[in-house]
Amino acid sequence: MTNEFKISRRSFAAGSALAAATLALPALRAQGKLEKTKIALSVGGKAAFYYLPLTISEQLGYFKAEGLDVEISDFAGGARALQAVVGGSADVCSGAFEHTINLQAKNQMYRAFVLQGRAPQIAFGISTKTMPNYKSIADLRGKKIGVSAPGSSTNMMANLVLSRGGLKASDVSFIGVGTAAGALTALRSGQIDAMSNTDPVMTMLEQKGEVKIISDTRTLKGTQEVFGGTMPAACLYASQEFILKNPNTCQALANAIVHGLKWLQTAGPGDIIKTVPESYLLGDRALYLASFNKVRESISLDGIIPDDGARTALKALASFDPTIKADKIDISKTYTNEFARRAKERFQA
């Protein structure tokens, strides 16, 4: 990666040279003192499987085990969660990886430091109620499309689907519907004609025949078909300044998430039901578990962001957003894997 991130020499053996104190070093033997123990974390749509590792790490006390007091503010969508961290009311955001690219395009340097999802887990579906005769993307011109929140990753996915069908974002109306009960109501009541959203919402609508899925990134195979490669999804990201000032705190956050990822690798359906809040089930445990089984493989195994995935994200954004100039983005500055690598080594045993 780069040598822009530096870690306190307390974290290294006494004889470590100052020049070696960068994130490119091998794993630390001991965790340094946390620079900041109380963390304000923003997220958009926490009940979605997209953020399940965050919920697991919180519910099982993994943040507290790292000495952290994490206060999570849940917003209607990723764009609003992003606004919180950019505006300073949150220290860290749990959100889509591609936001780090969008921010860099605006000369704001934010960096992802641990991955939660290795596929976007977003599906785009057409309402069978308001558009029973749907045949092609062109039929969506002038229609209302539900997304978790305007500017969120669900909105970006919708833009990509539209662009490949010859439509621009301005050819439709986007409506923020959240990622839970509100999204179900919006589609069922006919307020929207199509929806780009995450699970469990999309599986619930799909199984009842209320949407026709036309683009799906809830599986690794589907993600490959849509994006042409791996696509990093939910991650923890923060400003470069925050990471520079709080490397041990960022390490603790990464440790907690990777701990949650490890738990999820062996957790059974019953374990998930017992751990997540009851409200996340949206009143239907069976459908919630069916949704989980559909997206399970898209959950990151170790928190590490794939290099080719970051490039895929940049290519996808540049394909429909004229404000993203691929040759102007330094993709290496949108993420670091050094914290996740240390966390992985710690929890491999």
Residue 197 reports pLDDT greater than 90? yes
Q: What value does the mean pLDDT take over residues 205-218?
A: 96
Q: pLDDT by residue (tens digit) across 91-114?
A: 999 999 999 999 999 999 999 999
- At 295, the amino acid letter reads V
Q: pLDDT by residue (tens digit) across 52-68?
A: 999 999 999 999 999 99
Residue 6 reports pLDDT greater than 60? no
Q: pLDDT by residue (tens digit) across 24-40?
A: 333 344 568 999 999 99
CB-based contacts of 289-293 (< 8 A; 24+ apart in sequence): 290/203, 290/207, 291/49, 291/199, 291/200, 291/202, 291/203, 291/204, 292/49, 292/52, 292/199, 292/200, 293/269
Contact between residue 100 and residue 277 where contact means Cβ atoms under 8 Å apart: no
Q: Are strands 110-115 and 234-239 parallel, antiparallel or unpaired?
A: antiparallel
Residue 251 reports pLDDT greater than 80? yes
pLDDT at position 214 = 96
**CA proximity to 272, closest of 291, 289, 257:** 289
Contact between residue 190 and residue 89 where contact means Cβ atoms under 8 Å apart: no
pLDDT at position 269 = 86
pTM above 0.85, yes or no: yes
C-alpha torsion sign, points 107, 224, 304, 294 = positive
Q: What value does the mean pLDDT take over residues 241-268?
A: 97
Residue 349 banded pLDDT, cuts 50, 70, 90:
low
